[in-house]
Each structure stands twice: as structure tokens, then as C-alpha cells.
Amino acid sequence: MRTRVPFTALVAACLATAAVTAAASCSGGGAEKTRGVRADKQGGSSSSTHLPRIWVLSVGVSKYKDESLSLEYADRDATAIDTFFAGDAGGRVPSERRFLLVNENATRAAVLTALTDLSKRSAPDDMIVLFLAMHGMPDAGGDLYYLSHDTDPKALVGTGLPQRDLEYAISRAPARRVVLLADACHAGQAGFAGFQGKRGAAAAETNRLVGQLAESKPGIAVLTAASATEASAEGKKWGGGHGVFTHHLLAGLAGGADDDGNGFISIRELFDFTYRNVSKDTSGDQHPELKGRFDNAMPLAVLAGAHGATRVAAHHAGRGASDVDPDPTMALKAVETSKNSGALDKACDRKDKDACARLGAMFMTGDGVVLDQQNGGRMLSQSCEAGSARACCAIAVQLYDPSEASPRPLPEAATCDAACDGGFGPACRAIEQMRRIGGPRDKDPKAAARSKMAYDLDQKQCRAGDAEACHGLAEMLLGEGEGARARKLLVRACDAGLARSCEAAARASGSGSEAARKFLEKGCEASHGRSCATIATAYFESGNAPDPRQAYAYHQRACELGITTSCRSCADLAQSEGRGAFAMPCLQRGCNGGDGGSCMMMGQMYESGDGTPQNTTLAMGMYTRACAIGYRPACARADALRGQAGHTP
């Protein structure tokens, strides 16, 4: 099966983001040992002398709603990891590619929304770093749950953060490299059973289940704070207040782990360093573990003076610092809006191939219409066959595989090249998107010239009032670290009604800011589902003024616009408010949209009679549907119900 690069709109430059899920956790279990890590060249990264583009999600929960669960330094650990990746050694990951969730902001829904977002936006050569510092707890059925701020340990289903949901999001990420750092077995002073620092069966089961994540996808490295049956220590003596694992993890990333002196910290070097120092500092009571199928030489940090630490795009040289803003007196025009979707639909019915291509791109991204990638892909394919260069370029980006030694001789790609050479801006933008992903396009002798053409054409068309071109130019500037200039362009495009620009402007404004909230509200009003989902999570499910009813309304709107994760979120909120009947419409939309988790929840509601009349036949049907989609926990439940009913699977 070919690797597919996600299509993020023809006008948007690809934000290359290596998927490295780093979660500091107590994985392991059984007889599996850290020293037996397998190298998987296909699943991991090559030992290249540069940092990949990185996305980072850092989660730390010290303060729980249930105060008996509270830790002391998990939030400090997550904040320190986020700060590291914002600095030089961590690749200067910009704020729009870093997500930090601590304490009351680290709700179940917030973590899943952030992970789903960054996973979808990653590219094959990117890295996602996921750091989790919180409690972990297995349920009676053998599933592992991480305890987010709002988790009730006596009601894990519905309030806990299931590892299967993390696994699902990671498995869907195009990024082939994932590093999970998980600190989920704390020796805290919690009074709830299972959190008193005991090294019994519960801790061992948690460790074993975390380790299973390493087997979910090639290229995943799971680096955990302790081995099976061990708890993870924290204290003021480590860096003024950190977990012992995170303290030495940071010291290793800062240079202590550079065993070969080449200026780069690889995942293997980092593990060896933390293993030595953590076991020494705890007198042999705690031993980190590393599991997965990945390249041991995969770099996570670069030290000052290291050669080739980052790739600077040569084609940007000589651009100068000219102002790229459009004339501030000129009103930008955006075609890809909910207001114009009806006109595009009518034009498409009249066999206008470019109108069909624009509409197909809107369906692929959920910009102004209900997210429907299957329909969008069909429209792009038909438009390309009809001769639309715009559609062919979009397909070329989708089919592009950076692992190939040379570009595929696709008719779509040839059309894209020819259209760019003829001065068609979106075609040049598509080529720039593929160049940023890497692979054969990076070696194309004409790639630099075409990328510069993409910049120049977008700048010219942006100045002429084209909101789409302004957005494309802003994406290129964001990729170069020019956040302030990019933000001005995104704000103008958002004001013009380009919904995805509103979401991008919110990210560029800083997570949690009032300005970001206003941009997300604009995006939601313009029928951009991800904006609705983000504002629900960021401003109503957590923070200073949580409002479950408002959160439900925003998630319901996002669900209606095709964001299936919001379908489950609005169902969860309805159930938490004792309004189970309001959960079913959300779950029905999610299930119809192909979300196995929504089908599973419907099955549970039918089985228990929560918010709907009890009906085990319907429950078995929903479990079977979820299983067919690929949601594995539903398979066992469907088989169990069949057995109870006297059926054979």
C-alpha cells in the first residue's frame, strides 16, 4: 500500500512534522527487557544529520479534581519538556506546533483533540513528541486509562483517557516516527487504592499495557520512566522539583547523553543516559525502559555547533525583507467559504471543472462545508480527468511518497509542473508543499526555482487581494519561523471569510489567548469544524470558566461539520450532565462518519439502557459495526453478546 500524504488544502504549504510520541511512562512488563530494542529501518528514521520537523504534545497533571490523586511535579515536568523543544537544542519548534496541557487544562477531551489535530497535520518525515506525566490505571477488562484532570478513577469509562484512543490517533498519523515518553506509574501519596506507591499487580499491569503501544505501528519508540512492578519517583531534590526520570531526560537532551560527541542526541543515547542515572539516583529502585521498532540513531536534539542541524531552504536566499502584506486598504476576496459553496456547487453542476476542484478541496479540509474526504477525493479525481490543473496538483500531493528514490511519472505531477512553469500559483504552491515534505522533490534541480516562484506568485496575488494566496504565503512564512508576518496575513484572510485561516491565526496568536478565541469563533461561524472543536475544548471544557452546555453546543456543531472526535466529546458531555438522550444524535453522526469509537459508545448505551431503551440486539449490531471499522475493543464485546444470546461468532 502506498504512503499517502494528507491533503491540507492546495493553498496551504505542508508543515512537515515528524511524528515522535514521547511519553515518559512505566511501560514494560513480563520478561521483556529494554536492552532488546529492535531497529526497524523502514519504520524509523535514518540517522541523518538534521532534526526532522517536530510536533510536541506535553501533558502533565499534578492537580486532579479528585484531590486524593494529586502529584507534585508532573505539571513542571511537562512545562520543562515544552520549553526544551521551544529552544535551539529542541529545534526551535514554533508555538503553533507545540501543545502544552497541564492540570485543569489537561482534560480528557483536550488531550484527544490536540493529539488528533497534530497527528492529522503531520507528514511522513515528521516527528511527533508526546510526553505524558500523570497516573495510569488498568480497568477490569484489561484496558489502560491515563488519568486526566477530570478523570474519576471509579468511572474510568467515559472519564478516563483510554490508551486505545491514543493508539488510534497515532496509527492514523502519516508520520512514520513516534516517540512516547510516559510517566504513568507515580509513587505519590494518593489515597485511592492503586496509587499509594505499592509495587503490586496493578502497577505491573499498567507498565505492561503502556508497553503495548510500541507494537501498534512501526517507527514508534516508547521510552518509559520505570520497568514493570516499579513506581516512578519525584521530588524537590531533582532540579528543584521534577520527576527523577524527567530530570535526567532533560539533562541528557541538553548534552549529557552525547556519548559519541557528534553534537546530536539520538533516542538510543538518551535512553542509555537516563537508564544509568535514574537507576543510580534511586539506588536501583527504578529502571527506564525503551521499546518499539525504530532506528536507534533517530535524533531528538542538536547541540550548539553541530553541523547540518537544520536544513535551511536555499531557495529562500536573496528574497530580502520586503513587506509581504497586501495593501491594507484592499478587501481580500475568498472563494472557499460557506457563503460561496452554493455558487461553486452550481458551477460544478454546469461542468465547470475548476469549480468542482475548489469544492472538492473544501470537502477535503472541511473549509466552509461538512468535512467529507471521500466525496472530496472523488470530485478531485473527476476534475483532474476533466483537465483541471488545480485538481491534478492536489492529487499529486496526496500520492506523493517521499520514501521513493525518484519522483513517480504521474500524469498529475507532470500537469502540476507544467502549470507552475506556466505561472499558475496553486500549482507552484503544491510543488512547494511536496518539497517541504522532502524526498525526491528535494533533489529536483528545478525544485528551488519552482518554490521561489510559489513564493513570488503568492506574494503578487496576495497583494492583489486573493485571500487564498495570502494563506498560502503565510504557511510558507510559518515554516520559516516568521510568525509575526504570517499572523498578519492570516488575520486578513480570516476576516475575508477563509475559515481555515481563522484556525491558523488562532494557533499563531498563542493557545488560550483571547485573540485566539475570537479567531476560532470566526472560523466556527464560517463552518470550519476544527475551529468549533478547538474552542469547545480550550475555552469551555477547561480553564477559568468551564461551561459544559456551551462545550456541548460547540462540539455538536463540530460533529455536524464532520469532526468525528467531537461527536464522542459532545456525547460524553451530555452523559456527564445526565442528559443521555442528547448523546445519541452525536454518536449516530460519528458512527455514520466512520468513527468506531462512536459506534462503540452507542452499543454501550443500548446495552445498558443509558439514555435510550435497552436493546441488546441493537447493541450487538453497533459493536459489530465498530469492529468492522477497525475499533478492536468492540470485537470482544460483540463476541460476548453473541455468546450470551447463544449465537456463534
The domain segmentation of the chain, as residue ranges, is: 34-302, 331-525, 558-644
Task: Check for a shared fold between 34-302 and 558-644.
Answer: no
Looking from the CA of 219 toward its CB, the CA atoms found within 13 Å total 24
Cα angle 486, 488, 493; round to 5: 95
What's the CATH fold of domain 331-525?
1.25.40
Q: Is 582 exposed, middle or buried (0-12, 13-18, 19+ CB in 10 A)?
A: middle
Cβ-based neighbours of 617, under 8 Å, separated by 6 or more: none
Which residue ranges in the chain fall short of pLDDT 50? 1-49, 186-205, 207, 305-322, 544, 647-649
Q: What local confidence, expressed as pLDDT, does residue 314 receive?
A: 34
**Cβ-contact 267, 221 below 8 angstroms:** yes
Q: How far from 554 is each of 500, 524, 571, 587, 640, CA to CA, in Å?
A: 17, 8, 12, 15, 36
Q: What is the pLDDT of residues 562-616, one digit of tens each?
A: 888 888 888 888 887 788 788 889 999 989 888 888 899 899 989 988 888 889 8
Q: What is the pTM of this model?
A: 0.51
Q: What local confidence, expressed as pLDDT, does residue 486 receive?
A: 87
Cβ-based neighbours of 226, under 8 Å, separated by 6 or more: 26, 28, 185, 207, 232, 245, 286, 287, 288, 289
Scored b (16 or more CB within 10 A) or e, 51-83 reads bbbbbbbbbbbbbbebeebbbbbbbbbbbbbbe
Which amino acid, residue 583? A
Q: Is 637 exposed, middle or buried (0-12, 13-18, 19+ CB in 10 A)?
A: buried
SS3 of 261-316: the string is CCCEEEHHHHHHHHHHHHHHHCCCCCCCEEEEEECCCCEEEECCCCCCCCCCCHHH
Tell me how far the alpha carbon of residue 390 is from its chain's centroid: 27
Q: Tell me the C-alpha distance between 178 and 401, whole Å.
A: 19
**Cβ-contact 214, 220 below 8 angstroms:** yes
**Cβ-contact 336, 472 below 8 angstroms:** no
Q: What local confidence, expressed as pLDDT, does residue 8 receive?
A: 32
Instruction: Tell how many helices (H) and how many strands (E) occur in the chain.
Output: 26, 14
Q: What local confidence, expressed as pLDDT, does residue 120 receive?
A: 87
> Under CATH, which number does the domain 558-644 receive?
1.25.40.10
Q: Is 266 exposed, middle or buried (0-12, 13-18, 19+ CB in 10 A)?
A: buried
- Grid coordinates representing 167? 493508539
Architecture of the CATH domain 34-302: 3-Layer(aba) Sandwich (3.40)
**Cβ-contact 512, 540 below 8 angstroms:** no
| Residue whose C-alpha is closest to residue 464's, from 451, 473, 453, 477 | 473
Looking from the CA of 406 toward its CB, the CA atoms found within 13 Å total 2
Residue 4: Cβ within 10 Å count: 13
Q: What share of the chain is helix, strand, coil (3-state, %, to 5)?
A: 50, 10, 40
**Cβ-contact 228, 209 below 8 angstroms:** no
Under DSSP, the state recorded for 254 is I
